Amino acid sequence: MRFAFHAVLMVGAWSLAVGAAPAPEQKDYQKIADTEEWQWKPDRTTAAGSAKSYMGDFQADVAVNDSGATLVKFAKGDDVVFILEGHAGTVFAGRGNVVYYADFIPQSSGCTVIAYDLKEKKQLWKANLKGLGPIDHTKYRNQVSLDIKDDAVRILGNESAGKYVEYLDLKSGKTVGHRVFGKMRD
């Protein structure tokens, strides 16, 4: 009888061990940023370019007027759920119900990334990028490209004062990797 009880305990412990899946390994985005090579793709720096590569669950339609003002409408069928107002350089990416977009001024340094849940119609988070930091300038150019890599948003910044890559956690918006490249624009 004692043997049977011991066998039941062993089988129970084994089934717990087999049923418990290990937590997925978290990527080290700082290490990725530290070793990443600079790859700038000009076609990914516009609202129209973002719409071509958009992978979210909602439709993204871009309209740019003659002055460069841009509206990106996110919809399910005929139901427009969110309108993003920006400029021709406004960039975005999507995964599922969430759109991630860059808010920046092309003639000034800096960038903010915002995560917006299209289904729930609410902002999830807003993150000011480290980027290059504060820059004194009189003439300036700022371009941004944005995409999703696994469980992070990757932002490439190409500014008059330098270039950078920054990774933000998809769920929290926290910077999980950042690197500044050379001080010359390509």
Please, what CATH class does the domain formed by 26-180 belong to? mainly beta
Distance CA 175, CA 186 (A): 25
pLDDT of residue 68: 76
pLDDT of residue 185: 45
Residue 9 has pLDDT above 60, yes or no: no
DSSP string of 114-126, one letter each residue: EEEETTTTEEEEE
Among residues of the chain, what percentage have pLDDT more than 70?
A: 83
pLDDT of residue 141: 86
Say if residue 145 is exposed, middle or buried (CB neighbours under 10 Å; 0-12, 13-18, 19+).
buried
Give the mean model confidence (pLDDT) for residues 81-92. 94
pLDDT of residue 102: 95
Question: Rounded to two decimals, what is the model's pTM?
Answer: 0.76
pLDDT digits (tens, 9 = 90+) for 107-150: 888 899 999 999 999 999 999 999 888 777 667 889 999 999 99
Domain limits of the chain? 26-180
Please report, as a single letter, which amino acid is at residue 139: K
- Cβ-Cβ contacts under 8 Å for 41 (sequence gap 6 or more): 145
Q: How many CA atoms lie within 13 A of 166 on its CB side?
A: 24
CB 98 within 8 A of CB 80: no
pLDDT digits (tens, 9 = 90+) for 14-48: 444 445 556 566 789 999 999 998 888 888 899 99
